Amino acid sequence: MRVRKAVIPAAGLGTRFLPATKSMPKEMLPIVDTPAIHFVVKEAIEAGIDDIIIITGRGKRAVEDYFDESPELEMHLEKKGKKEQLEMVREISQMADIHYIRQKEPKGLPDAILRAEKHVGDEPFAVLLGDDIIKSSPPCIKQLIDVFEKYNSTVIAAQKVPLVEISKYGSIKGKLVEDRVYLVEDIVEKPKPEEAPSNVASVGRYIFTPAIFDCIRATPVGLNDELQIADSLTILRGKEDIYAFEFIGKRYDIGDKFGYIEAIIDFSLENKEIGDKVRDYLSKSIKC
């Protein structure tokens, strides 16, 4: 069955990015001039997904406003003859069919995914975390869809990380079944490096079968008093095979200060308008 729908959880509190996230969603943090979540929505669209569900929470209105029409702004740009900007603003509000579902309390990523159950129905679906930008061609989620279409079972994105950093991720124990594809045998959430089964980390892209919903309902509250996706996946593994795919591409964790700075540097260096100036500035300031 074709993956037609994508769920983008964006209801987390973003405590790693306080105080900015006190009054603005971290998914709206700009990467040069474009909010992080724009890249995530674009990734889903470029993978052929046309039905997008964003899970929001309190204080996340800016996300809805961003993808909505902006009549006053459009009128202003039209009056001033700023055609290029007008087109850009209109294109954003026409990007895709976006639906919003509210997560009343941030009870963890699995709970955010469960909010989408009614809209998703009985079909496989993609999950893209709203604070993870992945630069890749083809889009990371398309790479996962291709693996899903071969194995017809849940596929999660994986990336090798330095072992000292594995405690920020779910660590995957798996059997390599083909180049970059692991059959998952275990996932340990945020282990100490010495206790991690591997340095293969589970990161923010997934293709789930609808079986995940019952597994989330059966998931006990875990680390930090939240539901943890690794625990839901462990339950799912008792029902179907789970594959992990080491995608080709670069990931930026926008919810993390260093990840955000990495994205700003890389995207600004590639920016036609300011790339050369940034390169020049960086090389000078590093020498100082």
Q: Which range of residues in 28-36, 107-115, 152-160, 193-201 is near ligand UTP by CB under 6 A? A: 107-115
Q: Is 13 in the site for ligand UTP (CB under 6 A)?
A: yes
Size of the site for ligand UTP (CB under 6 A): 21
Q: At what angle do helices 36-46 and 140-151 cross, to 10 degrees?
A: 40
CB of 86 to ligand UTP, least distance (A): 30
Instruction: Please enumerate in sequence order all residues whose Cβ is within 8 A of that of 236, keeping only pairs 6 or more positions apart, or say none.
Output: 154, 211, 212, 215, 242
Instruction: Please enumerate in sequence order all residues whose Cβ is within 8 A of that of 146, keeping only pairs 6 or more positions apart, or say none.
Output: none
Nearest residue to ligand UTP, scored by beta-carbon proximity: 12
Q: Is 40 in the site for ligand UTP (CB under 6 A)?
A: no
Q: Is 9 in the site for ligand UTP (CB under 6 A)?
A: yes
Q: Is 11 in the site for ligand UTP (CB under 6 A)?
A: yes
Compute the residue count for the chain. 288
Q: Whole-angstrom Cα distance, residue 237 to residue 106?
A: 25
CA distance between the termini of the chain: 57
- The DSSP bridge pattern shows strands 51-56 and 97-102 to be parallel
Q: Which range of residues in 9-17, 166-174, 191-199, 235-243 is near ligand UTP by CB under 6 A? A: 9-17
Among 3, 5, 12, 126, binds ligand UTP (CB under 6 A): 12
> Cβ distance 255 to 17 under 8 Å?
yes
Q: Is 170 in the site for ligand UTP (CB under 6 A)?
A: no
Instruction: Please enumerate in sequence order all residues whose Cβ is within 8 A of that of 255, keeping only pairs 6 or more positions apart, or say none.
Output: 12, 14, 16, 17, 26, 131, 132
The smaller minimum CB distance to ligand UTP, of residues 105 and 270, is found at 105
Q: Is 98 in the site for ligand UTP (CB under 6 A)?
A: no
Q: What is the DSSP string of 101-143?
A: EE-SS---HHHHHHTTHHHH-SS-EEEE-TTEEEE-SS-HHHH
Q: Is 159 in the site for ligand UTP (CB under 6 A)?
A: no
Among 3, 5, 6, 14, binds ligand UTP (CB under 6 A): 14
Q: Whole-angstrom Cα distance, residue 251 to residue 236?
A: 26
DSSP state at residue 80: T
The smaller minimum CB distance to ligand UTP, of residues 26 and 142, is found at 26
Among 124, 170, 174, 255, binds ligand UTP (CB under 6 A): 255
Q: Which range of residues in 10-18, 63-71, 151-159, 164-172 is near ligand UTP by CB under 6 A? A: 10-18
Find, among 69, 118, 75, the residue nearest to 92 by Cα: 69
Q: Which range of residues in 3-11, 94-102, 147-155, 259-267 is near ligand UTP by CB under 6 A? A: 3-11
Q: Which range of residues in 15-23, 42-50, 173-181, 263-271 is near ligand UTP by CB under 6 A? A: 15-23
Q: Which residues bind ligand UTP (CB under 6 A)?
A: 9-17, 55, 103, 106-109, 111-112, 129-131, 255
